[in-house]
Chains A and B, each alone.
Chain A
Amino acid sequence: MTTPVISFQDYGFQYMSQAEPTLHHINLDIYPGERVLIAGTSGSGKSTIGNCINGLIPFAYPGKSTGRLLVDGKETQESSIFELSHVVGTVLQDTDGQFIGLTVGEDIAFAPENDCVPQEEMKQLVDQVAGLVDIVHHLEYAPHELSGGQKQRVSLAGVMVEEVKVLLFDEPLANLDPAAGRTTIELIDMVHERTGAAVIIIEHRLEDVLWRRMDRIILMHEGQIIADMPTARLLSGNLLLQHGIREPLYLTALRYAGVEIREALNPEHVDGLQLQQEDKEQVRRWYHSQRVGIRQEQHGQELLQIRDLKFGYTPDTYTLQDVNFTIYKGEMVSIVGRNGAGKSTLAKLICGFEKPVCGTISMEGRDLKGDTIKERAAYIGYVMQNPNQMISKPMIWDEVEMALVQSGMPKEERTRRVEETLKICGLYPFRNWPVSALSFGQKKRVTIASILVQRPQIIILDEPTAGQDYHHYTEIMDFLKELNEKGYTILMITHDMHLMLEYTKRAIVFSDGRMLADNTAAHVLNNPELVQAANLKETSLYTLSLACGIEEPQVFTECFIGYEQKEVR
């Protein structure tokens, strides 16, 4: 029996700034070369576990610990963050924060520089590691010239130069589009093969991580380990859903169809599923029973029209061109495509932050050309991705009231409007709270409220659920759905395939500044060519339906969504 490289022994931890311990009685051994996924909702303590392993706890975040934690055979308390960094390499969630150097080469060399490695040796080392993660042709690039996926490679290279025994990834997929996320998982897989280091991934996006083999899943909840078992066994039970983690879509579909999830199914990966004839038969039967339920939607009145829109930050190069579409009243539409495809630019043009080179944007037939940003805000609301970038008042009431104060509305009218909006958003009981006391999801509501208060007819949201776990995701999306049912038209920029499938009927797809498609979400995701061009990812429902001999995967997907909306919620 080998000795574990990481060993928690009845370990507990309490941050100095907090009243309650964050971790309780953790017992966990991780062995050299293992691949472990730590899953859990936000606040479950999964990131704290990561911080204990790499030494940020207790060296950067002081607190009280109980029990023992051994990393590479040594008590962390008696070690130092520097010593630990030779054993554990950490890739943080925020790739921009992790990218410290001015160029790729410098960033990879950052750790050797601090170790006083001579320059000659350092250059060789950098070339070698950069070759391994395939970023060697970009050594002179600055961070803003790289895509999210490329930055992820640099981060990985930057910790691999140390020849560590453990690679720790803190939510590596949070900021990536689906295809880049998939490549990242493949990359981690490859690095594991070559270096033999133990891999620990902290993530709540289970299905994406399981794109490659994981030996074990540790499920965390409220500071405790709920489950520590092989992937197949955990997927077979109900533990994941009970603790707010979304299981892979294909498994949910199988459950809906009445197929029991068992280890013998090989549930880890959709391609490796061992479905029996009767399982497939069952899925098909369910499919046919659901199929009749689908109906075509009627369009409402035309609301927002985009005609021949063209835009570029510099003359001659266009970040956006030939954009044509119409949004109808009461719709909920997603705008999808890879990072940098022009989605956010489109939103900025609609809001008037930028001026198009040519083309028109009109609202109920009226060209918006002459309207200022502020005037447009009366009918178009824009909600930024990160609520922390929008909230500018410490108190909730003031934040929501701000736009009205700026417009010079009389006090009684303002109070009435703010109260009404807070009620719509379920924030009324918190009206006199400081914003800082709220969760991320609630903050998001505050930003939406601060936009809704101006009574726009259409709301544009940039990545409304980025980085959120299933619980918060559902909370935010159900709220948006509620708003939509109250008559608000909602436009969402996203690269979350689930969101697009589950909540929006229609998707507009962008790639390299052009509109590729405008169709139903199910249709888009079941069209392999489109999926590839837009850096999306076909859902596992597509693969499952083909495996079960269903010829119209798109209809199968629609059935799934329909069933979910009807039966589950």
Chain B
Amino acid sequence: MKKLSVKTVVAIGIGAALFFVLGKVSIPTPVPNTYISLQYAVQAVFAALFGPIAGLLIGFIGHTLIDATSYGPWWSWIIASAFAGLVIGVVTMKLDINEGIDTRKIVHFNVAQVIAHLLSWGLVAPCLDILIYSEPIEKLFAQGLMAGISNMVTTGIVGSLLLVAYAKTVVRKGSLSKED
């Protein structure tokens, strides 16, 4: 494996800290006992900016810290979180956000995140749960579907808005002129 650059090491650390902090903030939804998980939007943005390894480890470290400080780690979901970051990172590898953003890139990013969350919560998490905890399939897929859709919506809306806003902040002045 190629050595991680110092910048990536730091991005993973700070990204995981963000993941943790946002994971602890509960923003209620109309569905009882369900919360908006803003951390997945941020993880997706970091994966798109810093690559798949960063996405993977931000999810892994961040989610482990959330679980370990609240009720003990639920490994299957931790791995699913990590996997989501990895997939988004891989699919958006060629997407140079720092060069500006357009509709095509936003669609690309969203395709990436939809695939990632579909695989993570529709496949990885339930399969691991069956393997490890031997829970009934019906429950796991229903649960996975809920989590997956919720994360897709959050990442789709918040993640895309963040990327657009971010891209606008890095674009250079260009030919701005004062108006009266």
Contacts and interface: CB of A to CB of B under 8 A. Distances in A.
Contacts, number: 24
B178 interface: yes
With most chain B CB atoms within 10 A of its CB, the pick from A395, A432, A434, A435 is A434
With most chain B CB atoms within 10 A of its CB, the pick from A393, A395, A433 is A433
A358 interface: no
Interface in B62-111: none
Nearest to A388: B169
A394 interface: yes
B178 A394 contact: no
Contact of A436 (B164, B169, B178, B179): B169
Contacts of B164: 394
B180 to A, nearest CB: 7
B170 interface: yes
A373 interface: no
Interface residues of B, number: 11
B119 to A, nearest CB: 32
A434 B180 contact: no
Contacts of A431: 179
A436 B176 contact: no
Interface string B38-76: 000000000000000000000000000000000000000
B45 to A, nearest CB: 15
B167 to A, nearest CB: 9
A409 interface: no
A437 interface: yes
B168 A434 contact: yes
B171 to A, nearest CB: 7
Contacts of B165: 393-394
B90 to A, nearest CB: 27
A462 B103 CA distance: 39
Nearest to B179: A429
Interface in A186-217: none
A430 interface: yes
Interface in A356-397: 393-395
A248 B164 CA distance: 46
A432 B174 CA distance: 13
Contacts of B173: 437
Interface in A408-467: 428-437
A351 to B, nearest CB: 20
Contact of B179 (A393, A394, A432): A432
Nearest to B180: A429
A395 B169 CA distance: 9
B164 to A, nearest CB: 8
Nearest to B178: A429
B179 A435 contact: no
Contacts of B180: 429
A430 B171 contact: no
A393 B169 CA distance: 9
Nearest to A436: B169
A218 to B, nearest CB: 30
A393 B179 CA distance: 20
A394 B168 contact: yes
Contacts of A393: 165
Contact of B171 (A428, A429, A432, A436): A436
A431 B171 CA distance: 17
Interface string B147-180: 0000000000000000011001111010010111
B179 A434 contact: no
Nearest to B168: A394
Contacts of B170: 436
A394 B170 CA distance: 10
A429 B176 CA distance: 11
A431 B169 CA distance: 16
Contacts of B169: 394, 434-436
A434 B164 CA distance: 12
A433 B165 CA distance: 13
A198 B4 CA distance: 34
Given A393-B165, A394-B165, A434 B178 contact: no
A429 B171 CA distance: 20
Contacts of A428: 179
Nearest to A432: B179
Nearest to A393: B165
A433 B175 CA distance: 10
A427 to B, nearest CB: 10
With most chain A CB atoms within 10 A of its CB, the pick from B164, B165, B170 is B165
24 contacts: A393-B165, A394-B164, A394-B165, A394-B168, A394-B169, A395-B168, A428-B179, A429-B178, A429-B179, A429-B180, A430-B178, A431-B179, A432-B179, A433-B176, A434-B168, A434-B169, A434-B171, A435-B169, A436-B168, A436-B169, A436-B170, A436-B171, A437-B173, A437-B176
Given A435-B169, A436-B171, 12 more contacts: A393-B165, A394-B165, A394-B169, A428-B179, A429-B178, A432-B179, A434-B168, A434-B171, A436-B168, A436-B169, A437-B173, A437-B176
Leading 8 A-B pairs by shortest Cβ distance:
A429-B178, A394-B168, A436-B169, A437-B173, A394-B165, A434-B168, A433-B176, A429-B179
